[in-house]
A = this chain, B = another copy of it.
Amino acid sequence: MDKRDAALMGVAIEEARRSMEEGGIPIGAALASDGRLVAAGHNERIQRGDPIAHGEIACLRNAGRMASYSGTTLYTTLSPCEMCSGAVLLFRIPRLVVGERRTYPGDVGFLRSRGVEVVVLDDEECASMMLRFQREHPREWSEDIGGR
């Protein structure tokens, strides 16, 4: 793996760990522009009672207003849902690095078909945090992905 990608995914993983420590869903994200960190964030459904604060959405909110997302890469510990995939397309984020998609596949094929470069790392720590949360909190997990 590219060293910059590893370091920036490390930021997203640290966000996921922080969410887990707060009792929240362990999903984190980071946004970088030309390899430099812009913002990070994590899922806040449980912490703030905020259903739209998926990791990617919280990260994009924390980044604030941007005139362009050209040259950006979004790092997310878990494959994105429809809403977060839509945010990638809306803001024309050209590149997405996904920690793992074993515990939630998302639809990376859809993003690729729309021109997004998607890299899937299959990271063990991302997957083990999610597997534990899904096992211990099945109701909250189901709620976070629309009752599936």
Contacts and interface: CB of A to CB of B under 8 A. Distances in A.
A90 B146 CA distance: 5
Contacts of A122: none
Nearest to A58: B52
Interface string A19-52: 0000000000000000000000000010001111
Contacts of A45: 65
Q: How many protomers of this protein does the assembly include?
A: 2
A contacts with B: majority SS: loop
Contacts of A83: 83, 86-87, 89-90
18 contacts: A51-B63, A52-B57, A52-B61, A52-B87, A53-B61, A57-B57, A67-B139, A67-B143, A69-B146, A69-B147, A81-B86, A82-B85, A82-B86, A82-B87, A82-B90, A83-B87, A84-B86, A90-B146
Interface of A: 45, 49-53, 57, 60-61, 63-70, 81-87, 89-92, 139, 143, 145-147
